[in-house]
A and B are shown apart, each in its own frame.
Chain A
Amino acid sequence: MAANHWFLACLPLVAISVVFGGHPVAGMGLVALTLGRVVSLRSRRTFLMTLLLAVIFSGIFVWRQSQVTRRQVSAFHPTNVTLAMTFQPDALVFHGASYYFVARNQQTGEPLTVRGWVQSARELQRLKQLRRPQLWRVSGQQVGILPATNFNQFDGASYWHHRGVTKSVKVVSVLQRQTAPSSPLQVVSNWWHRQRTRLIRYCDQLPGALRVYALGLLPGSRAAEAVQELQGMQQLGLLHLFAISGLHVALLLTAVEWLCVHLRIQREHWEWGLLLGLPGYFILAGGGSGVLRACLMRGIQLGGRKIRVRVSTLDAWAGALAIGLLVNPGLLFELGSQLSYGLSLGLILLAQESHWWRQVGLTLLGLPSLLNGIFQWHMLTILTNVVLVPLFPLVMLPVTLVGVVSFPWLPVISGWSATVLAMLDGGLARLAELPGNVSFGKPWWWVCWLWLVVSWWLFTRPPRQRRQWLVGLLASYGVAYGLIHLPLHGEVAYFDVGQGDSILLREPFNRRIAMIDTGGHLAFPQPKWVPRTPTTYAATHTNLNYLRSLGIDHIDDLYLTHHDADHIGDLPAFLQAIKVKRLLVPAGMETEPGWQHLLAHSRFPVKVQPITIASQVPLRVRHPYEAAPAENANSLALQGNFGGLNFLFMGDLDQTGEQKIIGDDPQLRTDVLKLGHHGSKTASAPAFIDQLRPRWAIISAGRENRYGHPHAETLATLRAADVPAVSTQTSGMIRYVYAGKHGVWQTKLKGERDS
């Protein structure tokens, strides 16, 4: 086939993956368009090859999809299982006392995600010393992988479905551990996995920032501290350019080539070595989608040279994409692969452009993916791409390599490398603190596609004509920003934060943004031998993520109903990420020392305002009556009108408090009642429900929570009063989206009725 025909022949495959990715209409349109382009090449051979590929890929996609559907089980009802599974030792990832890995069911060959807990320091030590492929017999609980339970949340289920994984297993006990028998075919890959395990354990001992960089760049595994250490890089968009997109792989391979050339090794020899070593390096580098792309592209071109077929860069890219699609049919819908494949295509096709236009191009091509995936963008990204990107191959990569290599002999040098990297990190973090971070919000998916198409189109124009397109494109970004930030509708949203409460009250045009509680988790004291892990907040993935997806960067009023961790535990995540204008707490809580540490790392000064029923705040305060310790009994109860409905939020208030409220106001009614204390029997007295006569009851509780919330007594009370209940346990996030006096209820999951 003629040069670059493979590239065009691969585009219909991408379109087919869109069809199977849940966009049948848009996908079929793309199939027609891309096939049309192949026809217009007027090459019978290319056309037949394209059809053949399209048929083969469709077959494979259908087969994979049916396999995933067949394997699917309920995500809500765990079953007890005993099974044997095999995995490579480098798959084991430790986090504190828990471990996690992807294994294969030995009987069926089905991939599973597995999570378990070690019981002692000795066991942890033993697991870290594993070097051979493992065969474990475990008993545990098997459950389907839970899809995203909040709107705009990262969808773990589809991520894993793309990889053929549908079930996760929680290990209760490991019955037997042994080395897995391996066939002669696996000897080579086992060897590479063993090397990767050794590399990970080796990098794990490195000091400070060096450890994070070494783990990320060499074996491609994320240190638990990566989130904190690389914050600056992440915010400035550098991390996406490198770690995700696999550019560092190309750099490392180029370094190896340079070394071979300068050591005067014959090209014939090292080219074969490189070609045969690539699959091994792929395993060693962690096998991510960016690594796969980089290795495949290099391998295809090198292999072509060995059999005297010149493969154009574009064709090599297309080959890597086709194989990538076989490995992961959902490639197009994941941020990492979008950036990896998109930016490398940009680098190929914009190679002839001036430096300035190339930077503009890469920024424009990455922007829709970034906004769709992480909802924000730092304006300094453009600057850092120009100034800091050269820093990476010149400073960060060499410093990391030197630090890693010198550690056994001259740990001092490793220490220096760690310092240099930490300084760089610090500088970048300070840079990221500068104004310029745009909380854009999540644009509609079709707008992202449109931006991408126009961005590519822009570069088919000669540079002089591009200005008007560029201005138009930027204007469309401005319009989208405006529409996201000044929405016509408001909402009352009950987040699914597991066992806990968190509610968003957002008025149309974002006139006033209030939240009730943040959600959070009870932290249990850990034994001394458990390695310390940095604090992470679930809010980052659930409610805070949702606020970001709406482009919200501030909260006017944050009500904290009382001091329990499941209501205010994730407060630091909010105070660090966005501006909270004031905290409203039940009178008496403001002076309690127990929760003050949560305010310690706030980015902006926090104003704490105690409130009682007499307080004039936007919501009507129904409880407490006077200052008291902020326990459940003294929880805030708040009432408000939104979109033609009356809402009552009970916090964790118990029956005594309810009695007090209806005693005070016998006429009290409401439409939507957020049940007190997650549906516990300590709240929601029959008399209270009968008096309020709500049309809906909302229960905010965790799946399989240890308290058995909501209690059967409460559900019985609701049934008796004929009040339908919706629970975050089965419905995920629940929101009432309204404009004017009308609105609609939406739930993230289909939900099974509790009552």
Chain B
Amino acid sequence: MTRCVWCTRTFEPPVTLQDLLRWRPLPVPALCSSCQERFTPITGAHCPACGRQQATTIRCHDCERWGTETLTNHALFQYDAGMKAYMQQYKFQGDYALRKALQAPLYRALARQTYDVLVPIPVDQHTWLTRGFNQVTGWLRDQPFQQVLRVKADHKSQPQSAKTRAERLVTPQPFMLDAAAAKIIANRRVLLLDDVYTTGRTLRHAANQIYLGGAKAVTSLTLAR
């Protein structure tokens, strides 16, 4: 009997011949099919820079506005009502069990990326104390990652999601590098991992810090765009 982590109803997990004929445990999906459908995967044409779903494959308007401050981001799902509801329950209501819902797609997406070091975006001290977990590392199963970024102690703890676009864009650099960071990221390809790409401000701040640490290349992956 399998129970959906989101709606908590039992469901019959779909089984395929491949799963049965492989020498592996049967996959246990975390979501029932109707909860799965609340997420809209980004497929087909998307912005090459930020990963947003669109009809063409040229850089989107928002990316153009960033000018030369480029960053290549990939995203898994569209940031629509379903994803918002999920983030609300997972992040803000702190439903840690929901992390399992997106572990499998993230696992597959990470397997497709080329990188040497995986760096999740950190949460600040206040969030740690209230939420109790980092929503980004929750989605990881056993993939190795390096927590080389830290949130500066003087950083004002107002969540990005509570700001307007203009307010976000003027956010000062919130991150600093860990003392041991240089050894880990020097001359390596770094992949940043975050939950949502909205304006790209946070990821660009993080990327800048990583470059300062001597990384060869920095790209990013987000669950939603």
Contacts and interface: CB of A to CB of B under 8 A. Distances in A.
Interface stretch (B9-17, B141-149, B159-167, B191-199): B9-17
B15 A2 contact: no
A4 B15 contact: yes
A316 to B, nearest CB: 10
A36 B20 contact: no
A8 B15 CA distance: 12
Given A2-B28, A309-B1, A352 B23 contact: no
A4 B11 CA distance: 12
Contact of B15 (A36, A310, A312): A312
Contacts of B17: 349, 456, 459-460
Contact of A40 (B2, B13, B25): B25
Nearest to A1: B1
Nearest to B15: A4
Nearest to A462: B18
Interface string B80-98: 0000000000000000000
B44 to A, nearest CB: 18
Contact of B1 (A3, A42, A349, A457): A3
A571 B77 CA distance: 73
A37 B1 CA distance: 20
Nearest to B1: A310
Contacts of A37: 23
A2 B2 contact: yes
Contact of A460 (B10, B14, B21, B26): B21
A3 B2 contact: yes
Contacts of B13: 3-4, 312
A695 B150 CA distance: 100
A8 B25 contact: no
Interface string B179-208: 000000000000000000000000000000
Nearest to A314: B15
A41 B18 contact: no
A40 B23 contact: yes
A4 B18 contact: no
Nearest to A37: B23
B24 interface: yes
Nearest to B18: A460
Contacts of A314: 15
Listed residue (A36, A41, A310) with the most chain B CB atoms within 10 angstroms of its CB: A310
A314 B28 CA distance: 15
Listed residue (B15, B18, B25, B28) with the most chain A CB atoms within 10 angstroms of its CB: B15
Contact of A352 (B11, B16, B20, B26): B16
Contacts of A4: 13, 15, 20, 26
Interface string A387-414: 0000000000000000000000000000
Interface string A1-18: 011110110000000000
A43 interface: yes
Interface in A1-60: 2-5, 7-8, 36-37, 40-43
A28 B2 CA distance: 33
B12 A2 contact: no
Interface string B1-41: 11000000011111111101101111010000000000000
Interface of A: 2-5, 7-8, 36-37, 40-43, 309-310, 312-314, 349, 352, 456-457, 459-460
The 3 A-B residue pairs whose C-beta atoms are closest, nearest first, are A40-B23, A460-B17, A460-B18
7 contacts: A3-B28, A7-B20, A36-B23, A37-B23, A41-B25, A312-B12, A313-B12
Given A2-B2, A36-B23, A40-B24, 4 more contacts: A2-B28, A3-B15, A4-B13, A40-B25
